[in-house]
Amino acid sequence: MGNTGLIITETLFGFVALFAITKVLGKTQISQLTAFDFISALIMGELVGNALFDDQYGLYEMALAIFLWGGLLYLSEVITQKFKRSRSLLEGIPSIVIHKGKIKYNEMKKAKLDLNELQHLLRSKGAFSIKEVEYAVLETDGTISILKKSLEQAPTRKDFQLPQEVVSMPLALILDGELVKDNLKEAKRDEAWLHQQLQAQSIEAVKDVLYAEWKEGEPLYVLTY
């Protein structure tokens, strides 16, 4: 029990330090996780874990390791922003694995990608057949971007020469039986209106609703428990 206070202190410090570094590095470190970023995340976690349970290391050693590694990551981000030629080395470059409907085997080999993995990635983008795809690009974070052949693409309003409509974003007004007041305010509605909409669907209280979604021009979509 004598080390309990030290463990708590080091854990809190490690949490705050990693949180601060994540904020400094930016959201792209999360949404565009490259292989290098993944390895960096593992190392950062290992540094904190070792410092927590190794009696030879304290707050100073933990701070030194975390901020040194974080500084190197930040430096690599600065370098890639200022020197474009460094991006291919530090971030990698996308690979075109399907070009004009034909699979580029050499690019797939370079990316260590087999046909089963390619099919899996294509299905995740709604392409269940390779013949539907005109272009496919393997991104640096391991995801794939596709452009379907013209006959496989969904028609748009422009294709039918229909007038443009105002696009509104759906807002969740109730989640797990609790009112989302910020979204209700964003929708320019009040609680009286919401209760009226619920009563119209024979629902008495917000707590009885699992999920409720509002979209301009459409009736309130409600799911109960």
Q: Are 120 and 146 in contact (CB under 8 A)?
A: no
Please provide the CATH number assigned to the domain covering 171-224. 3.30.240.20
Taking the C-alpha atoms of residue 28 and residue 90, their distance in angstroms, rounded to an integer, is 14
Q: Are 34 and 140 in contact (CB under 8 A)?
A: yes
Structure tokens at 206: 């917000």
Phi, psi values for residue 214, rounded to 5°? -115, 140
Domains 95-152 and 171-224 fall in the same CATH topology: yes
Q: Are 25 and 74 in contact (CB under 8 A)?
A: yes
pLDDT tens string for the chain (225 positions)?
Answer: 456 666 667 667 766 776 676 666 554 444 455 556 666 666 766 766 666 666 666 667 767 777 777 777 778 778 877 777 776 666 677 889 999 888 988 888 888 888 888 899 999 999 888 889 999 999 877 789 999 988 888 887 788 888 887 778 899 999 989 999 999 999 999 999 999 999 999 999 999 999 999 998 889 999 998
The domain limits of the chain are 4-88, 95-152, 171-224
Residue 136 Cα distances to 92, 143, 150, 177, angstroms: 17, 10, 14, 42
Q: Are 73 and 33 in contact (CB under 8 A)?
A: no
Taking the C-alpha atoms of residue 42 and residue 124, their distance in angstroms, rounded to an integer, is 26
pLDDT of residue 209: 94
Q: Are 51 and 65 in contact (CB under 8 A)?
A: yes
3-state helix, strand, coil in the chain (%, to 5): 50, 15, 30
Strands (E), the chain: 95-99, 102-103, 133-138, 144-148, 171-175, 178-179, 209-214, 221-224
pLDDT of residue 31: 47
The domain covering 95-152 belongs, at the CATH homologous superfamily level, to: bsu07140 like domains (3.30.240.20)
- Look up residue 1 and give its amino acid: M
